[in-house]
Chains A and B, each alone.
Chain A
Amino acid sequence: MDGFVRVPVREQDAKVRATNFQEVCLGYNKEEAESEAQRCLNCKNPKCVQGCPVSIDIPAFIQQVKEGDVEGAYQTISKSSALPAVCGRVCPQESQCEGQCVRGIKGDAVSIGKLERYVADTARELGIKPEGAKEKKGKKVAIIGSGPSGLTCAGDLAKMGYDVTIFEALHEAGGVLVYGIPEFRLPKDAVVKKEIENVKSLGVKLETDVVIGKSVTIDELMEKEGFEAVFIGSGAGLPRFMNIPGEQAMGVFSANEFLTRSNLMKAFDENSRTPIMRPKKCVVVGGGNVAMDAARTALRLGAEVHVVYRRGEEELPARKEEVGHAKEEGIIFDLLTNPVEIHADENGWVTGITCIRMELGEPDESGRRSPVEVPGSEFDIECDAVIMSLGTSPNPLISSTTDGLEVNRRKCIVAQEENGQTSKAGVFAGGDAVTGAATVILAMGAGKAAAKGIDEYLSQK
């Protein structure tokens, strides 16, 4: 194989995987990984590291893969990332590390994500754990939320020697990694649970079933339970709806509800005690990664699925790889289309949706061309379920119960980018709770920055 083309990664056949919930991408084996690692030029000034929100020493770990030193490669990655098996699967590498790779100028970028995944998966099979702190600092830090930002912040602080407790509102740790991203993209027992075990092996404590702002407030944690600093990584969990007629009909769900039932509650499994609707024909509204996840989940539950998105193919916010996978599996894309009204039968069950064609107008302030309705172009799609995947916003439970915590007009917590410091002393924040819905790796970057910020704050205290 010449140096311009990456080693292809094996995947489950599209027709087969459309009917199961097993992982789509099968990953590299040793030969494939070592062969792909040969393509890395080990640049003196590695652009890929600049493209990584948590600054993994990418050339170093790839050299270790090349030499067959998986343990070394794992420890190199672990210095920067608490969740390599997750990131190797769900990071948008094409716009981050791989997007910067010089190999990509003439040919394919080095397949950094797949190599990271290979290292993490192999290390897990070999039972290799990250290295913990040598000395304890004797200071307690509370982490709110066990999603990507919280786990990263907790892992980094534990490695520095802090006494860290994570509080999770749901019954299981992982945040969006367990309730949002489906099994076929990110296996829960095999990957997510194991990475969380690794974070716990650093000494991090985990208390599930605690809703901060309801069960206990941040002020109580600091005043009564002895936490000297708090990191808020509570995510952006509130679903949006369109406020169009018929949205309360039975068969209309938020993507959050549909995915939470399937992922967290395992309703995709016929034996699960949590019910889920198995639609025959389903319309998913939206074009982001969550929309792709919802669409591909509905497909696997047996539906014919249409993705309705108001802009065009180029504007789809989802990762190219996800859109490609969705198309291969047979999902139909109705682009430049927007819902107007949902119809229900006399018993209240969804029967269809009226949409209108859109065209792209002039670019707006953000530079994106905003869609405008084409008058008189309404048409109906028959369906028995509609899944709204229009983005999410931060939950006000914490901001509304914490004195002196500033939020912006989108209800996002205001925090400094470089260290996560909020308007309240000792309280830091990061991830979707600050930025609004974004990506796993950006949340991890924010968790990492906040861990550094918390360490600086507590060192000076």
Chain B
Amino acid sequence: MFKILEANELTTNIFQMIVEAPRVAQACLPGQFLIIRVDEEGERIPLTICDYDREKGTVEIVAQAIGAETMKLGKLKAGDHLADVVGPLGKPSDLCEESIDELKKKKIVFIAGGVGTAPVYPQAKWLKEHGVDCDVIIGAKTKDLVILEDRFKAVCNLHITTDDGSYGRSGMVTKALQDLWDEGNKYDHCVAIGPMIMMKFVCKLTQELGIPTIVSMNPIMVDGTGMCGACRLTVGGEVKFACVDGPEFDGHKVDFDQAMNRMKLYKTEEGRLMLKAQEGDTHHGGCGNCE
């Protein structure tokens, strides 16, 4: 059992928790993820690591209540326990492997969408701790849905854009990236994390701009250790398992259409309707049913 020390709602349907998980906290690096089970009958669900504290032995998770399982998770309070927390899973970000001098020479931009903002945070923080500057673009539908703003401001040059223009720049993240580029920000490296549809269109743009781009894939998973193959993707014509070969891949090589299609495998009609109701007219394709 893994104790929840803090639980807060960041915005509608997105919540943050600090959980005691000493082994994960000790070993994890930016780019990795974990799998939890809410209770003994729970499904195994992969979640992103937003932050970690090695000394306290805690990890911070951020999740969006979009299905039955994440809704159950969202109802838990400080003092409750999760049945399981396992990780860290997947490979750490390539940035952690590169020499700091090389990183300092690069102009790096992160593009974060929705709940995908959370896994960008430890990467930006890690760079800051190693003396490397970076830009971060956070995209959200509207002002109220922007998360982690203050914490990002402390570790990077932050650009916020909202679909409805209620805060920061106006428009999708792709527009913000194009505008920043046109304003003279010639990025050498891009990391995009968010809904698959967002990553797909960011990759389309960065290909045109010639910016190497890493994406973090979040397909269906069961065990998270390479055993089931449910998370398989086609990357550069080869089959890869997101859980052990990723989750980060060269975004210009990922077959997003196939990956989005595979997301709908276990979606029920009911679940799709719920998602549509929640996301309204800015339905982002997380259902896997959209073009």
Task: Tally B residues with Cβ within 8 Å of A.
Answer: 36
In the assembled complex, which residues on chain A have CB atoms less than 8 Å from the CB atom of B69?
A: 273
How far is the CB of A313 from the nearest CB of chain B, in Å? Answer: 28
In the assembled complex, which residues on chain B have CB atoms less than 8 Å from the CB atom of A35?
A: none
Are the C-beta atoms of B43 and A215 separated by less than 8 Å? no
Among B42, B68, B88, B225, which residue has its beta carbon within 8 angstroms of that of A395? B225
Q: Which residue of B lies closest to A209 (CB)?
A: B86
- A21 sits at the interface (CB 8 A): no
Contact with A along B199-233 (1 / 0, CB 8 A): 00000000000000000000000110111111010
With A171-B83, A209-B84, A273-B42 known, 16 other A-B pairs at CB within 8 A are A170-B223, A171-B86, A210-B23, A214-B27, A215-B27, A215-B86, A216-B23, A248-B262, A250-B261, A254-B228, A256-B228, A260-B223, A273-B68, A274-B222, A275-B43, A347-B261
Q: Which residues in window 38-73 of B have CB below 8 A to A?
A: 41-44, 68-69
Are the C-beta atoms of A237 and B266 separated by less than 8 Å? no
Q: Which residue of B lies closest to A400 (CB)?
A: B244
In the assembled complex, which residues on chain A have CB atoms less than 8 Å from the CB atom of B44?
A: 171, 265, 274
Binding site for A on B (CB under 8 A): 23-24, 26-27, 37, 41-44, 68-69, 83-89, 222-223, 225-230, 232, 234, 239, 244, 258, 261-262, 264-266
How far is the CB of A339 from the nearest CB of chain B, in Å? Answer: 16
Are the C-beta atoms of A211 and B89 separated by less than 8 Å? yes
In the assembled complex, which residues on chain A have CB atoms less than 8 Å from the CB atom of B258?
A: 248, 348
A248 vs B68: C-alpha distance when bound (angstroms): 26
The segment from A187-195, A238-246, A369-377, A431-439 found at the interface with B is A238-246
Are the C-beta atoms of A348 and B261 separated by less than 8 Å? yes
Task: Tally A residues with Cβ within 8 Å of B.
Answer: 35
Q: Which residue of B lies closest to A347 (CB)?
A: B261
Q: Which residues in window 179-198 of A have CB below 8 A to B?
A: 179
- A296 sits at the interface (CB 8 A): no
Are the C-beta atoms of A260 and B228 separated by less than 8 Å? yes
A106 vs B185: C-alpha distance when bound (angstroms): 86
Contact with B along A331-348 (1 / 0, CB 8 A): 000000000000000011
- A208 sits at the interface (CB 8 A): yes
How far is the CB of A247 from the nearest CB of chain B, in Å? Answer: 8
In the assembled complex, which residues on chain A have CB atoms less than 8 Å from the CB atom of B223?
A: 169-170, 179, 237, 260
Known contacts A272-B41, A397-B244; A214 and B228 CB within 8 A of each other:
no
- A311 sits at the interface (CB 8 A): no
Which of A179, A214, A261, A273: most chain B Cβ within 10 A?
A214
How far is the CB of A73 from the nearest CB of chain B, in Å? Answer: 35
Main secondary structure of the interface of A (DSSP, over half): loop
Q: Which residue of A lies closest to B271 (CB)?
A: A275
In the assembled complex, which residues on chain B have CB atoms less than 8 Å from the CB atom of A359?
A: none
Known contacts A215-B86, A215-B87, A265-B43; A257 and B244 CB within 8 A of each other:
no
Are the C-beta atoms of A256 and B87 separated by less than 8 Å? no
- A277 sits at the interface (CB 8 A): yes
Are the C-beta atoms of A241 and B239 separated by less than 8 Å? yes
How far is the CB of B88 from the nearest CB of chain A, in Å? Answer: 6
User: 23 A-B residue contacts at CB 8 Å?
Assistant: A171-B37, A171-B44, A171-B83, A179-B223, A208-B84, A209-B85, A209-B86, A211-B86, A215-B27, A215-B86, A215-B88, A238-B226, A247-B239, A248-B232, A250-B261, A250-B262, A254-B230, A260-B223, A260-B227, A265-B44, A273-B41, A275-B43, A348-B262
Are the C-beta atoms of B84 and A171 separated by less than 8 Å? yes
Which of A169, A208, A256, A257: most chain B Cβ within 10 A?
A257
A250 vs B43: C-alpha distance when bound (angstroms): 20
How far is the CB of B267 from the nearest CB of chain A, in Å? Answer: 9
How far is the CB of A113 from the nearest CB of chain B, in Å? Answer: 28
How far is the CB of B45 from the nearest CB of chain A, in Å? Answer: 10
